[in-house]
């Protein structure tokens, strides 16, 4: 899967003539895969477990965020890959800084669902709205910050 993300990101980067950062393209590639994870978890929660949309959507957000964190760590930010204890600290920090993106996503998707959009479309609306915040915050506060701390300790 990591090779797939790297290949797709490389092709898209060349297609965009290098105008978009490769890490942004990779982040959105992982996010697209995460969207599939999100929708699968949400639909399973609604159909199999008979969960309310909001509960199924929240569980799906947490599952997809976890998926995205681990794949972004391995592919998107491979030059700053977190290992050992740092991966757990990074996960906690990632969930913290992206919680606003998750809240934005939850708010938008809940409103869209309440206005009559199908669950999948409502969830996608929310995901799109929270994605850019999540990229900027995770890059700035997770991989960049933690790798800087690790580098400082190594000196």
Do the Cβ atoms of 55 and 123 come closer than 8 Å? no
Residue 63, token pair as written in the block: 């599952």
Q: At what angle do helices 119-138 and 53-71 cross, to 10 degrees?
A: 40
Q: Among 5-9, 37-41, 78-82, 149-153, where is mean pLDDT lowest? A: 149-153
- Residue of 152 and 108 predicted with greater confidence: 108
Q: How many CB atoms lie within 10 A of CB 118?
A: 10
Q: Rounded to whole angstroms, how far apart are CA atoms 136 and 85?
A: 23
C-alpha 26, offset from chain centre:
11
Residue 145: per-residue pLDDT: 76
* pLDDT per residue as tens digits for the range 79-130: 888 888 889 999 999 899 888 888 999 999 999 999 999 999 999 999 888 8
CA dihedral over 104, 52, 68, 152, signed as positive or negative:
positive
> pLDDT tens, 60-83?
999 999 999 999 999 888 888 888
Taking only Cα atoms into account, the Rg of the chain, rounded to an integer number of angstroms, comes to 16
d(CA 35, CA 57): 11
Quote the pLDDT of residue 56: 97
Q: Residue 37's closest CA among 155, 148, 123?
A: 123
Tell me how far apart the alpha carbons of residues 110 and 38 are, in angstroms, rounded to a whole number: 15
Q: HSE on the CB side for 33, CA within 13 Å?
A: 21
Q: Which of 133, 9, 147 is nearest to 73 (CA)?
A: 147
């Amino acid at each position: 899967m990591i090779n797939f993300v790297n290949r797709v990101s490389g092709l898209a980067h060349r297609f965009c003539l290098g105008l978009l950062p490769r890490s942004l393209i990779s982040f959105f590639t992982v996010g697209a895969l995460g969207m599939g994870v999100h929708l699968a978890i949400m639909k399973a929660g609604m159909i199999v477990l008979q969960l309310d949309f909001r509960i199924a959507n929240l569980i799906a957000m947490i599952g997809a965020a976890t998926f995205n964190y681990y794949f972004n760590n391995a592919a998107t930010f491979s030059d700053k890959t977190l290992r050992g204890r740092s991966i757990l600290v990074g996960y906690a920090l990632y969930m913290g800084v992206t919680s606003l993106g998750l809240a934005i996503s939850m708010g938008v998707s809940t409103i869209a669902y309440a206005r009559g959009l199908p669950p999948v479309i409502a969830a996608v609306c929310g995901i799109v709205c929270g994605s850019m915040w999540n990229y900027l915050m995770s890059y700035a506060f997770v991989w960049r910050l933690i790798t800087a701390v690790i580098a400082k300790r190594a000196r």
